[in-house]
Amino acid sequence: MHDKTIAELAAGLRERTYSSVELTRHFLERIARHNPSLNAFITVAAESALSAAAQADLALAAGTGGPLIGIPIAHKDIFCTQGLRTSCGSRMLDNFIAPYDATVVERLAAAGAVVLGKTNMDEFAMGSSNETSWYGPVKNPWDQTRVPGGSSGGSAAAVAARLCVAATGTDTGGSIRQPAALCGITGIKPTYGRCSRWGMIAFASSLDQAGPMASCAADAALLLQAMAGFDPRDSTSLDTPVPDYVAGLDGDLAGLRIGLPKEYFGAGLDGRVAASIQAAIREYERQGATVVEISLPNSPLSVPVYYVVAPAECSSNLARFDGVRYGHRCENPKDLEDLYKRSRAEGFGAEVQRRIMIGTYVLSAGYYDAYYLKAQKIRHLIADDFRRAFEQVDVIMGPTSPTTAFPIGAKMDDPVAMYLNDIYTIAANLAGLPGMSIPVAPVDGMPVGLQVVGNYFEEGRLLNCAYRLQQQTDWHLGVPVGFD
């Protein structure tokens, strides 16, 4: 059952080949078997999953229920779930149970999805390897000595190991796409504002965006369909209609203009990864697409800009975790300052503390103009690069990540090397554009992701590109050894 697409599972459920309870139990058993080694889940919600599945079976019997009725999924532990712990991968929120559901959680529940649990992640989504989690690193199912990528590493590993049908992720600088690439799954970061941020714990508010992580484009389309849409509780969510993503999957790609930014194929890119990307591009050419080299001249600035903007916002967003109302509080504080200092020093890990300090610094009097303001200006220039590019091409393609998954521990002592992992993904967040990672030919048995960036609200086109590639190739069908 765990090797099927959502459409196949939905048919099986409708035809009573199996019930949602059976399906859910099957995935819970897989989690019980594999999670101790993978560490992909922080919280497994067996009881509530089975009761939701039983409800779904009633709906199925009655011929009602949404498009995802009875399908077992998982949520990144950054989405608030009413009554179910939401830790955000941090000791700070180890005891936090939200009194509300995130909009994305609510919408997927309304579509009928069954929640198996909450997936592991880098602490407060700050990291590219899932090693900053208070709950320990997630292992890459393709090679358990390697990282799954991050910050949505738990979701990526869980989908890749088929511990759930699909999962939610969030992407601030590549946190859906990079782990999708490193774990060989399909993930899409929608246009900023496409999915509501209500109930999604903020890292960098102007960059954060939720999206689906799945085994294939068709599954991702079904999830995104349920997740996307305007939410009056999020002032930055956009009030524009959501197209029918499933209906658009199979569109003809003849005449599609693909831009390849020369900056994305330069030094730092593993040659074998480049070859996989080129092979995928050739497949698109076979389907009638044309390829042009383009330039995104400001893209080398995207990492430094990101590491000003994101920490600045996070330093403010994480100020609420002060030990006063909820979350971790130090023992026996002697006064207010002691309460703040020890609660935060104990509650936050090293990477989170590093970013809070960077962010505090760049917003400080005397440094604001030189860092924050300048970064915002460059952010506009980066968006302008894309605007000009999209006058010429329909989509931009390149590698999602410069290398395949690296060994656990390899970059933990070198934050800058870690940050450079997101060199190709960050720009889409800075510009607010949709971006996707699609599995292409692996290198030495390790997955490689093709990144496709589209114009605003062109999630449909990205899903179409992914779907058509997946119709002609089997790169997305690989399952890691031991998880088939």
Partner 1 sequence: MQWETVIGLEIHTQLATQSKIFSGSSTRFGAAPNTQACAVDLGLPGVLPVLNREAVRLAVRFGKAIDAELAERSVFARKNYFYPDLPKGYQISQYEFPIVGEGRVEIVLDDGTVHEIGVTRAHLEEDAGKSLHEDYQGSTGIDLNRAGTPLLEIVSEPDMRSAAQAVAYAKKVHQIVRWIGISDGNMQEGSFRVDANVSVRPAGQTTFGTRAEIKNVNSFRFLERAIQFEVERQIDLITAGGKVVQETRLYDPDRDETRTMRVKEEANDYRYFPDPDLLPVQLDAAFIAAAIADLPELPDAMRERFQADYGLADYDANLLTAGRELAAFFEAVAQGSGAPKLAANWIGGELTAALNKSGLEIGASPVTADQLAGLIRRIQDGTISGKIAKQVFEALWNDGGDADQVIAEQGLKQITDSGAIESLIDSIIAANQDQVAQYRAGKEKVFGFFVGQVMKQSQGKANPQQVNDLLKQKLLA
Q: Tokens standing for 337? A: 């300052």
- With CA atoms as reference, report the closest residue to 395 among 476, 303, 280, 315: 280
- Specify the residue, 51 or 316, whose C-beta has the smaller distance to partner 1: 316
Stretch that binds partner 1, among 2-10, 215-223, 249-257, 364-372 (CB under 8 A): 364-372
45 binds partner 1 (CB under 8 A): no
> How many Cα atoms sit within 13 Å of 126 on the Cβ side?
29
Determine the Cα–Cα distance for residues 423 and 266; give it in Å rounded to an integer.
Answer: 12
- Specify the residue, 154 or 327, whose C-beta has the smaller distance to partner 1: 327
198 binds partner 1 (CB under 8 A): yes
The separation between CA 52 and the C-alpha centre of its own chain, rounded to angstroms, equals 25
353 binds partner 1 (CB under 8 A): no
Residue 326 Cβ vs partner 1, minimum distance, rounded to whole Å: 7
Q: Is 206 a catalytic residue?
A: no
Residue with tokens 């601030």: 172
Stretch that binds partner 1, among 151-159, 252-260, 324-332, 378-386 (CB under 8 A): 324-332
197 binds partner 1 (CB under 8 A): yes
319 binds partner 1 (CB under 8 A): yes
Is residue 166 classed exposed, middle or buried when 0-12, 13-18 and 19+ CB atoms within 10 A define those classes?
buried
Q: How many residues bind partner 1 (CB under 8 A)?
A: 44
- Specify the residue, 18 or 361, whose C-beta has the smaller distance to partner 1: 361
> How many Cα atoms sit within 13 Å of 121 on the Cβ side?
33
Residue 386 Cβ vs partner 1, minimum distance, rounded to whole Å: 20
Residue 363 Cβ vs partner 1, minimum distance, rounded to whole Å: 4
Quick check: 72 and 53 in contact, CB under 8 A? yes
- Given 88, 256, 301, 397, the residue binding partner 1 (CB under 8 A): 88
235 binds partner 1 (CB under 8 A): yes
- Given 1, 67, 368, 442, the residue binding partner 1 (CB under 8 A): 368
Active-site residue identified among 76, 118, 139, 189:
76
369 binds partner 1 (CB under 8 A): no
- Long-range contacts from 328-337, C-beta under 8 angstroms, 24+ separation: 328/91, 328/92, 328/93, 328/94, 328/95
Q: Is 374 a catalytic residue?
A: no
- Specify the residue, 320 or 387, whose C-beta has the smaller distance to partner 1: 320
93 binds partner 1 (CB under 8 A): yes
Active-site residue identified among 20, 151, 152, 299:
151
- The per-residue DSSP string of 396-429 comes to EEEESSSSSPPBTTSSTT-HHHHHGGGTTTHHHH
Q: Which residues contact 371 (CB under 8 A, 6 or more apart)?
A: 308, 312, 361, 362, 363
Strands, DSSP E only, in 135-286? 166-171, 186-189, 209-214, 257-261
100 binds partner 1 (CB under 8 A): yes
Which secondary-structure segment (H or E) carries 110? Answer: helix 103-110
206 binds partner 1 (CB under 8 A): yes
- Given 324, 350, 381, 417, the residue binding partner 1 (CB under 8 A): 324
55 binds partner 1 (CB under 8 A): no
Quick check: 178 and 153 in contact, CB under 8 A? no
102 binds partner 1 (CB under 8 A): yes
287 binds partner 1 (CB under 8 A): no
User: In this structure, which amino acid lies at residue 466?
Assistant: A
405 binds partner 1 (CB under 8 A): no
Q: Which residues, numbered 293-312, are part of the site for partner 1 (CB under 8 A)?
A: 312
- Given 58, 61, 336, 477, the residue binding partner 1 (CB under 8 A): 336
201 binds partner 1 (CB under 8 A): yes
Residue 103 Cβ vs partner 1, minimum distance, rounded to whole Å: 10
345 binds partner 1 (CB under 8 A): no
Residue 117's CB is within 10 A of a number of other CB atoms, namely 31
Quick check: 31 and 24 in contact, CB under 8 A? no
Q: Is 151 a catalytic residue?
A: yes
Catalytic positions: 76, 151, 175
